[in-house]
Amino acid sequence: MILPGANLGLLGGGQLGRMFTVAARTLGYRVTVLDPDPHAPAAEFATAHLAAPYTDRAALAEIARTCAAVTTEFENAPAAALDALAATTPVRPGGSSVAVAQDRRREKGFFSEHGFPVGNFAIVDGPGDLDSALDQVRLPALLKTARLGYDGKGQARIERREEAARVLAGWKDVPCVLEELLPLEREVSVVLARGADGAMAVFPIAENRHADGILDVSIAPARVPQALAAEATELATRLAHALGYVGVLAVEMFVVGGRLLLNEIAPRPHNSGHYTIDACRSSQFEQQVRVLCGLPLGDPSQHTPAVMVNLLGDIWRDGLPRWEAVLRHAGAHLHLYGKREARPGRKMGHVTVCESKPERALEVALEIRHDLGIGGAQ
């Protein structure tokens, strides 16, 4: 067990790292953040900030020398850096698990090889694979870059065969995955924590709505039959075991024809799990600290229905948003990430509405969303 007072290392200093750092500092730990951004949001709360590239040897050596354990806040942290740190320092999650999540080809392949339900897909390593991929996957479909795609980036809807070649050429023929476009009923996600001893704590599943490829609203617990929620939990826990995963893991799933299909995983706390900060006995970030330090897992049970609304940089277009539209609601909890520049599509914060009735939580959340001028899906 790594007890409070120890120094923890964190690769990545964005909003997820900021919330991890707050949880760690609250529990009495010190935190060293490695992030090249001199204004990284997590650095405001950290005890030390190494403003250097993630592959910087001197910075990694400093982390290894001064930190009792290391974690990451984003899946694109170089797996090689995690492996190098793991030679001398506990790293959770490990580089092998992160490497699966970093590459959609490996991720989809892992799902299929281990018998998990997944939508129809084909690997496109280059232009020569397009014809066979289009023979395997019905159109319309989504072409996604194998790496570095998130929040709708690196994705294109393909309606006709000739579009696929044009998009791939525009992406300079990077490796991709072609996924059949499915008639989605809902999108849900499961966030869980798994310790090194195999102990598991699973949060209630969330129902997610997206706008322009970015998470817009999460409703927890999800409005799905209890049997489907239990199946989602079982799939996520089985996947964590198959990966040998140690850390906080998010598993995104589609509901199609009453069935669950795995979409993708995130080897870290997840946007759809932010509701746990205000609505659960332990948050996903406290769980991340507990797993990293080998502490007993916290209680993931939800005490209040909740709806989370993402706040993107778009609502700063006319100046400072009208925060009174949020703060006048007793059940609304405002979380801002400390980012200096608001840009369209950039995650700047979130609001979680907690109410005794889920219907009321959604009503208030949509009212706040409207009052702040948030467009897109509802």
| 135/155 Cα distance (integer angstroms) | 20
Read off the amino acid at residue 362: L
Check pLDDT > 90 for residue 84.
Answer: no
Is 251 part of any domain? yes
pLDDT of residue 149: 66
- Indicate whether 337 and 295 sit together in one domain: yes
Which structural domain, as residue segments, surrounds residue 229?
186-371
Check pLDDT > 50 for residue 222.
Answer: yes
The closest alpha carbon to 210, from 9, 4, 376, 12, belongs to 376
Is 377 part of any domain? no
CATH code for the domain in which residue 209 is found: 3.30.470.20
Determine the average pLDDT of the residues in 260-271: 96
- Indicate whether 328 and 197 sit together in one domain: yes
pLDDT of residue 378: 46
**DSSP per-residue string spanning 60-108:** HHHHHHH-SEEEESSTTS-HHHHHHHHTTS-BSS-HHHHHHHH-HHHHH
Check pLDDT > 60 for residue 312.
Answer: yes
Query: DSSP state, 254?
Result: E
- Indicate whether 210 and 296 sit together in one domain: yes
Tell me what percent of the residues of the chain surpass a pLDDT of 90. 86
- Indicate whether 246 and 319 sit together in one domain: yes
- Indicate whether 332 and 224 sit together in one domain: yes
Check pLDDT > 80 for residue 375.
Answer: no
Is 19 part of any domain? yes
Is 17 part of any domain? yes
- Indicate whether 317 and 354 sit together in one domain: yes
CATH code for the domain in which residue 33 is found: 3.40.50.20
- Indicate whether 229 and 354 sit together in one domain: yes
pLDDT of residue 308: 98
- Indicate whether 283 and 174 sit together in one domain: no
pLDDT of residue 208: 97
The closest alpha carbon to 352, from 148, 152, 214, 206, belongs to 206
- Indicate whether 165 and 310 sit together in one domain: no
| 105/125 Cα distance (integer angstroms) | 9
Extended strands (E) in the chain: 7-11, 30-34, 48-50, 69-72, 121-124, 141-145, 155-158, 176-180, 186-194, 200-202, 206-211, 214-220, 247-256, 259-266, 306-312, 332-336, 347-354
- Indicate whether 161 and 64 sit together in one domain: no
Choose from 49-58, 72-81, 139-148, 163-172 the range with maximum mean pLDDT.
49-58
- Indicate whether 83 and 138 sit together in one domain: no
pTM of the model: 0.94
Determine the average pLDDT of the residues in 312-316: 96
Determine the average pLDDT of the residues in 124-138: 92
CATH code for the domain in which residue 131 is found: 3.30.1490.20
pLDDT of residue 190: 98
Cis preceding linkage at 225, omega within 30: no
Is 256 part of any domain? yes
Distances (CA, A) of 216 to 210, 310, 352: 5, 5, 12
* Partner residues linked to 233 by β-bridges: none
Determine the average pLDDT of the residues in 349-358: 97
- Indicate whether 357 and 225 sit together in one domain: yes
* pLDDT tens per residue across span 252-262: 999 999 999 99
> How many separate domains does the chain show?
3
Is 193 part of any domain? yes
